Structure 1
C-alpha cells in the first residue's frame, strides 16, 4: 500500500441474508477496525440519545424511557419512502459524525472498513458525494441460500422478505459494481480464507493474514 495521510477505506455491504455480519467479524479477527453503521443507529436510538426528542416530534409515540420503540418506528417508515427520508434526515448526520470520529480514532491504521448495509441504495459508494470510500466489497451468496437464511429468522415471512428485496439494489447489480466480492455460499473456512486474501491483496502489513 502506498503512503497515505489516512487509512485505506473499504466499504462493506451486501443484501439481507448474504453473510455480511459474519464477514465483518472475520475482518475484526484479522485486526481490521470496522465501523458498524447499524450499531451506530442502534446506539443513537437508545435511552438518553439526544436524537430522541427529534424522532418523537416527527413520529409521535415511537419513543419512551427505553429509547426508540424500534418495531413501532419501523412500522411507520417501512415501505413509506417519504417517512423514511424524514427519519434519515435525523439519523444520517449523527451517524456521519460517529463515522468521522471513528476515522480519526483509527487514523494510524493502514485499513479500516465501513460496514454499511444500504451502501449502494443510499449512494455512499459515490466518491464525489459518498463517505470517501477507496473500494467496495460486496458479500454475496446464491439466491436459494439467501432465501433459506432469511426465512429462518424469527418473524420473517415470504411477503416481508419480498418487500425488503424490493427496497434493495439487486445482488447481481451490487456484484457488478463492486471492486471485490466475497462469496459466503461456500464453507466457513473458505470464506475466512477469501477474507484474509482480500486483506492481503490490499497490502495491509499490520493485520494477520492467516495462511491457511
Structure 2
C-alpha cells in the first residue's frame, strides 16, 4: 500500500541479535535513507500523553515523569498479555512519528527509504512497505549476541527470543533474507547484493 508519493519504502526487520542495526548501517553507507523505528520509539516514550496513558495501566513503568526502561523491559519480556497491552499503548505514538518522518522524506529526498523496525510485522507497518528485508542468524548465535550486547543471562536472552517471531516466520514473510552467520565482510557482501536487487527491482539506481 503506497501512502507516500515519491518514495519507495523497504522494510528492514529480523530476529533480536541477528545484526539488523549493522545491516541498516551498511545500507546507509550505500546511500539509502533510513527511518529508525527504535530511535523514534525513544522519542515517543517521552511524549507526555503516552506517559500519562501508560501510568494508568502500568504505574511502575513511569518514574518521575519519565519512562523507567528497565521496568518496561521486565514487563515486556515477562508477561505476554502485559507486553500486548504496552505495545497497544505505545505503537500509535511510534506510528505517528514514523509517518511524519516518512512524509518529510517524501518531500525532501525522493527515492528508496529503508524503514528499520524490529516489530515491523507485529505493528502491521509491513503494510506500508513495498518489500521487506529480514536479517536472521542461527539460534545459538542469537543467544550469545544478546547476552554480550545487553549483559543479560542466557535464560533472559532465550526468553527474549521465545517472545519474538521465529526464523521460519521471517523466511516465509520476507522478500529478501540476509543470513548473518559469518564474518562482517560477508555481511557487507550479502547486504550489497540485496541492495542491488532492491534498486534493480524498483528501478532506482541513484538515491
**TM-score scaled to structure 2, two decimals?**
0.85
Alignment partner of 2:113: what SS? Answer: strand
Q: Separation in 2 of the partners of 1:82 and 1:147?
A: 24
Q: Separation in 2 of the partners of 1:133 and 1:149?
A: 28
Q: Aligned pair 1:114/2:110, yes or no?
A: no
Alignment gaps of 5+ in structure 1: 208-212
CA RMSD of aligned residues (A): 2.1
Q: Aligned pair 1:197/2:193, yes or no?
A: yes
| Match in the other structure for 2:104 | 105
- Cα distance, 1:154 vs. partner? 4.1
Structure 1 pair 65/28, CA: closer, same or farther in 2 (3 Å)? farther
Alignment gaps of 5+ in structure 2: none
Structure 1 pair 40/186, CA: closer, same or farther in 2 (3 Å)? same
Q: Deviations over 1:55-110 (max 9, x none)?
A: 22221132234620111122234332332232222211111111111111111421
Q: Aligned pair 1:172/2:172, yes or no?
A: no
| Match in the other structure for 2:61 | 62
- Cα distance, 1:12 vs. partner? 0.6
| Match in the other structure for 2:84 | 85
Structure 1 pair 166/145, CA: closer, same or farther in 2 (3 Å)? closer
Q: Aligned pair 1:9/2:9, yes or no?
A: yes
Instruction: Count residues with an aligned counterpart.
Output: 198
Alignment partner of 1:190: what SS? Answer: helix
